[in-house]
Amino acid sequence: MDIQEIPVEGYERVVRADDPKSGLHAIIAVNDTTLGPALGGMRMWPYATEQEALTDVLRLSKGMTYKSAIAHTGLGGGKSVIIGDPANKSRELFLAMGDFVESVGGQYITAEDVNIGIADLEIVKERTSYVTGLSRESGSSGNPSPYTAHGVYLGLKYCVQRVFGSDDLTGRKIAILGVGSVGAPLARKLAEDGAEIYAHDLDESRVAAIAKDFPIHSVSEEEVLTMDCDVFAPCALGGVLNDNTIPKLGCKIVAGAANNVLLEVQDGTDLRERGILYAPDYVINAGGIINVAVELLPDGYNEEEALRRIRRIPEALKETFDIAEAEGISTAEAADMRAQQILEEARASKTQA
Ligand code: NAD
């Protein structure tokens, strides 16, 4: 396997691997380890070029640094991408990826991400111990989605409290886009609390499955975005909030699980100008990473400890919203500012020590 360093300013380490024997072509980016080893998922995607993959892994790993900083996971930020069609997965490919992760010597710890499942990581684990998020049976933290959903639920309730003065969800209208691994358990929790749920999913059977247990209105994509409601919860893909959608939004709060929900930084300012409270994606959706991080504590995984830490998400949102108000900036900018502050304080105390 040919492993080469790619020097990138602002990143501690970026490495690429090329292994013609297994077909592995991958990049690992370690953005920052000030707060601990860089944890971030492994993604497999048919990027058209290596440059495209590099851009993605750099952006994602920096996002993980900020997310972990704000969530106080005690971890840094990293990410890995395998360039390839997920249809061409093989045991050899993931064994080689395991060797590649191991070669970074623990600076990078991997987990699941887009197109990577537990079965793939089990193979990676044969070659490196720097793997998290495997099954509960194997002593690992298991599926992160219910924990992400729980964190979004607590964060959403805090946003409702902040805007309406009470976190009682009875009769609150909540529009959810995407009821998959995170959106579905979120919808169920909100419905249990008496909220009126409106949902849209490309896969209508997912809305129908929830409707068996709770009254939930199935609506179109246009309606879910534009309807008059208290909260819009984006739980599908990123980029949903942009120049086209923001002027049409009918909600007072945006609080959901989707990553990179703003297409551009300016979109955060546009939401602020429209008087819509936006819970920054990586602050509110940190439940999954918090759960995984607990696995790396000296005593190993403990669900109670994970839930205790997830209960801090409303506090992280409060800090973010307070900064935004004090500085007159968007909540998205405030989250980045808070993450940078946490990193700078940690760097300063390391220098003093
Ligand atoms: P998922 O694939 O299980 O669910 C996504 C759902 O959205 C699916 O039901 C899909 O049919 C639907 N969908 C996709 N595109 C759509 C569209 N254009 N219109 C309507 N519905 C659409 O994914 P997930 O794990 O639930 O993650 C949801 C979002 O939350 C993603 O952005 C993910 O990055 C983010 N996130 C997830 C976790 C986690 O623990 N799973 C953690 C942090 C962030």
Q: Residue 176 pLDDT more than 80?
A: yes
DSSP-derived secondary structure for 69-135: HHHT-S-EEEEEEEES-GGG--HHHHHHHHHHHHHTTTSEEEEE-TT--HHHHHHHTTT-S-B----
Signed CA dihedral, 97, 128, 102, 297: sign only: positive
Name the residue at shortest CA distance from atom 31 of ligand 1. 258
Residue 241 DSSP code:
B
**Residue 94 above 80 pLDDT?**
yes
pLDDT in tens, 288-332: 999 999 999 999 999 999 999 999 999 999 999 999 999 999 999
> What is the spatial distance between Cα 336 and Cα 211, in angstroms, rounded to a whole number?
38
Average pLDDT over residues 111-122: 93
The residue written with tokens 């309730």 in the block is 157
Q: How confident is the model at residue 139 (pLDDT cuts 50, 70, 90)?
A: confident
Q: Which atom of ligand 1 is nearest to the CA of 256?
A: 30
Distance CA(188)–CA(179), nearest Å, equals 10
Its pTM stands at: 0.94
pLDDT of residue 206: 97
Q: Does residue 182's CB lie within 6 angstroms of at least one atom of ligand 1?
A: yes
Residues serving a catalytic function are 79
Position 237 scores a pLDDT of 86
The verdict on the CB of residue 200 being under 6 Å from ligand 1 is yes
- Residue 350: the pLDDT is 83
Question: Looking at residue 215, what is its pLDDT?
Answer: 93
The most confident of 1-5, 133-137, 140-144, by mean pLDDT: 1-5
Which residue's CA is the nearest one to ligand 1's atom 32?
258
The minimum-distance atom of ligand 1 relative to the CA of 261 is 32
- Average pLDDT for 127-149: 93
Mean pLDDT of the chain: 96
Q: What is the pLDDT of residues 221-249, one digit of tens each?
A: 999 999 999 999 999 988 999 999 999 99
pLDDT at site 128: 98
Q: By the 8 A CB rule, do 67 and 336 touch?
A: no
pLDDT value at position 270?
98
Confidence (pLDDT) at 238: 87
Average pLDDT over residues 35-52: 97
